[in-house]
Copies of this chain bind each other. A is one copy, B any other.
């Protein structure tokens, strides 16, 4: 199933940070004035980020499709259009599409003077398919 988006698909994320096909399209670049990085990611079905942290946290806005978000130690959250989730600073999380349907999400990384992202290991199938 094709998931619609109001943004171009963008550039495929590297295999060292993503399982499957995830495409990033930048919306607001880093600067010292707004100190906020904004973009859109399209996760194909089955695709997800590695585990990672954000030094100042992250906000996700789901605009289409179906996906997952998990903060380490908490249950997987099911995400759909209109959902908004946040992750606190320096907390391990991952996000991605559901196995059967892709997901479009806008991401907001605040206070980028503290850093943007620290990448860690891939999310195993055992975790991803545990829902």
A residues within 8 Å of B by Cβ?
6-7, 27-28, 33-36, 38, 56-57, 59, 61, 63-64, 81-82, 84, 86, 88-89, 106, 108, 110-111
Contact = CB atoms under 8 A, between A and B. Distances in A.
Contacts of A38: 59, 61, 84, 108
Nearest to A7: B82
A30 to B, nearest CB: 12
Number of chain copies forming the complex: 2
A48 B106 CA distance: 25
Contacts of A86: 28, 34
Given A27-B84, A28-B86, A34 B7 contact: no
Given A6-B82, A63-B63, 19 more contacts: A6-B64, A7-B82, A27-B61, A28-B59, A28-B84, A33-B57, A34-B59, A34-B110, A34-B111, A35-B110, A36-B36, A36-B59, A36-B108, A36-B110, A38-B59, A38-B61, A61-B106, A106-B106, A110-B111
